Amino acid sequence: MRLGVLDIGSNTVHLLVVDAHHGAAPVPAHSYKNEMRLAEHILDGELISGTGVDALVAFIHSAQQVAEDFGVTETLAFATSAIREASNGDDVLREIRERTGIDLEVLSGDDEARLTFLAVRRWYGWSSGRLLVLDIGGGSLEIASGTDEAPDVAVSLPLGAGRLTRAFLLEDPASPDELRAMRKHVRATIADITGRIARAGEPRHVVATSKTFRSLARIAGAASSSEGLFVRRRLDREDLRMWVPKLAAMTGEERGELPGVSPGRASQLLAGAIVAESAMDLLEVDRLEIGPWALREGVILERLDRLAR
């Protein structure tokens, strides 16, 4: 069957068209996306602005046309932290339903961690043993660990790269005081849950997903995305430690010129790097692998599993 997956994230809104069958790997057929940065449309009081809703509705209309053009028979539509945390989130969902006919499912942070973990488990298989999975989004950091297809522990922390950039990094380049305050906040938040992760057991394989981790691995020397899904990409803590002060000294425009860094995400890369370095330090991860499957694939796989029952 041909599925469409409509992902309304804090940074990017994305329609992924895939050919999917139970027992087989989903095969991408088309990708249509826009770096809308929906979280930047949240006003004081945590309200998503009318302008933001209009932009989202316009994208969904265009995505519906793309899905029709590519023969999609079912669309799985979901939203993450930007709508989940907006105080008018229910009103936004209602307006989207009325104007587009799309009924968005709002995933909890734990659901994001769980579904991302499922995708990573299916990609790497049982031989990878206990997995530790990290994902840095625009609004949150997800961490999950387990030996089965469902994680033993899954947590979501409000440490997304976009969120932290807006809250702490007001200068460009960031000032030392801004960096110190953000680093202190990030490490204290992660340290609060490290005991839960450690008690789950030592991982045999550590995997990171998300655009932030892919960009950090790329600037540290990993293969470009053009070389395909099956090239192994890794990120070492020592390489990351070397790059954080370099990124801190750059402007957002300068970071946008680095390999694998899109101009739209460049301003958030420093915050993402500090979250990544902090997580690797506190969870005692020396090296991780960049996984090609993440939340969207997890949503697809869970849907196919349900259809097969």
Per residue in 291-304, pLDDT tens? 999 999 999 999 99
| Shared-domain flag, residues 190 and 63 | no
Check whether residue 101 and residue 121 sit in a common domain: no
The length of the chain is 309
pLDDT reading at 159 higher than 90: yes
Q: Which domain holds residue 142?
A: 109-295
Within a domain: 211: yes
Residue 122: how many CB atoms within 10 A of its CB?
15
Question: Are 162 and 81 part of one and the same domain?
Answer: no
Q: Residue 44 pLDDT > 70, yes or no?
A: no
In a domain, 305, yes or no: no
Both tokens of 295, joined, read 């939340």
For the chain, the C-alpha Rg in angstroms (whole number) is 19
Residue-wise pLDDT tens digits, 209-232: 999 999 999 999 999 988 988 999
Are residues 75 and 221 located together in one domain of the fold?
no
Of 57, 79, 106, the one marking the end of a domain is: 106
Q: Is the pLDDT of residue 38 over 90?
A: no
| Domain harbouring 74, CATH code | 3.30.420.40
Q: What is the pTM of this model?
A: 0.94
The DSSP result for 179-238, as a single string, is HHHHHHHHHHHHHTTHHHHHHT---SEEEEESHHHHHHHHHTTPPPGGG-TTS--EEEHH
Judge if 277 and 191 occupy the same domain: yes
Note whether 29 and 80 are same-domain residues.
yes
Note whether residue 302 is domain-resident: no
Each residue of 63-107: pLDDT tens digit? 999 999 999 999 999 999 889 989 999 999 999 999 999 999 999
Same domain, 176 and 243: yes
